[in-house]
Amino acid sequence: MGVIIRDMTKNDEYYVGTCTHVNENNEEYEMSAPRRLTWLKRMEQHGLRTKVALLDDVHAGFIYVMPIEINPWQIQGKELMVFPCLVSQSKFSLKGVGKQLIKTAEEETLKQQRKGIATIGYFWDFWFMPAKFFIKLGYKIATKRGEVAILWKQFDPSAESPQFRQVNYEFQPVQGKVVVDLFWNTFCLTSDVEAQRVRDVVLEYKGKVVLNEFSVDNLSNLQQHGLSRGIYVNGKLVEVGPEIEKEKLRQEIERTKIKE
């Protein structure tokens, strides 16, 4: 049958909500899925669409595409669509799933009469959102920060190039406390799971650690600070992988207490 792309149906929701982690008995992912689906469905009224790929009736990937004005990511502009995340499962590599999903996102862009489409890609040797893949599909670099680039495809000559948001974060100390500033979004499974882990760890300190949450589901937080995701302990950015391990955050908090 080949690759079939469709708008997300009820039968696709669990697959999309868990970000392909179906039937893994992962409590964190299972709890996050309904929150993510609620956000996705709420944003449909503002133009978001979730496209799901099936290969021989088996889920093979998905893509979100949405107006740039509502996207909870560090990319800004106007009259464009963006896809912050493309999921094409490795077990279906070389089947054209990713290409077909992007083609469908481009078709949705034209359907909504937008002037172009953009994404964020990475030049490091990692599977997530590889910039070179998008360049092969005709995307151009709009701007770049180190190994991270905004890539776009222009459909209208009057389209304005998308840009990175400017980071505007300032640490506000609290006397006698360790302060954790958490920037997070429901859109991304990793960020949503990470946020709950941070809350759990902060509670362990029974008031000795202050948690400030900045959810970019509220776009005013994103516009003010320019951060869609991040964890800061007394103003220091904590480097994390897919989602922070609780023990790593504890170590950062303890290290900060010792210094003080």
26-67 pLDDT, tens digit each: 999 999 999 999 999 999 999 999 999 999 889 999 999 999
Residue in 33, 84, 95 with CA at minimum distance from that of residue 59:
95
Q: What is the pLDDT of residue 125?
A: 76
Q: Tell me, what's the pLDDT at 13? A: 97
Choose the final residue of a domain: 164, 190, 215.
164
Q: Which residue, of 104, 129, 164, is where some domain finishes?
A: 164
* Exposed / middle / buried, residue 211 (Cβ in 10 Å: 0-12, 13-18, 19+): middle
Tell me the pTM.
Answer: 0.92
User: Rounded CA gap, 13 and 19, in Å?
Assistant: 10
221 and 110 assigned to the same domain: no
**29 phi/psi in degrees, rounded to 5:** -70, -40
Looking at every residue in the chain, the average pLDDT score rounds to 93
Which amino acid is residue 8, in one-letter code? M
Please work out, in degrees rounded to the nearest 5, the angle formed at the alpha carbon of residue 129 by the alpha carbons of 70 and 39.
30
- Domain of 92, CATH number, reads 3.40.630.30
Same domain, 8 and 62: yes
The CA distance from 105 to 49, in Å, is 9
The low-confidence residues of the chain, meaning pLDDT below 50, are: none
Give the per-residue pLDDT at 174. Answer: 95
Per the structure, the complete domain to which residue 136 belongs is given by: 3-164
Q: Does 223 reside within a domain?
A: yes
Same-domain pairing of 248 and 202: yes
Q: Give CA torsion, residues 189, 190, 194, 195, to 10 deg.
A: -40
Alpha-carbon distance 29 to 17, whole Å? 8
Residue 173 belongs to a domain: no
Per DSSP bridges, beta strands 209-215 and 116-122 are unpaired
Q: What is the pLDDT of residue 162?
A: 98
Domain end residue (candidates: 164, 196, 215): 164
pLDDT value at position 56? 87
Instruction: Give CA–CA dist 12/197, Å, rounded.
Output: 27
Cα–Cα distance measured from residue 126 to residue 139, given in angstroms and rounded to the nearest whole number: 19
Q: 77 and 151 share a domain?
A: yes
User: Tens digit of pLDDT for each residue in 232-254?
Assistant: 999 999 977 788 999 999 999 99
Q: So what's the pLDDT on residue 200?
A: 97
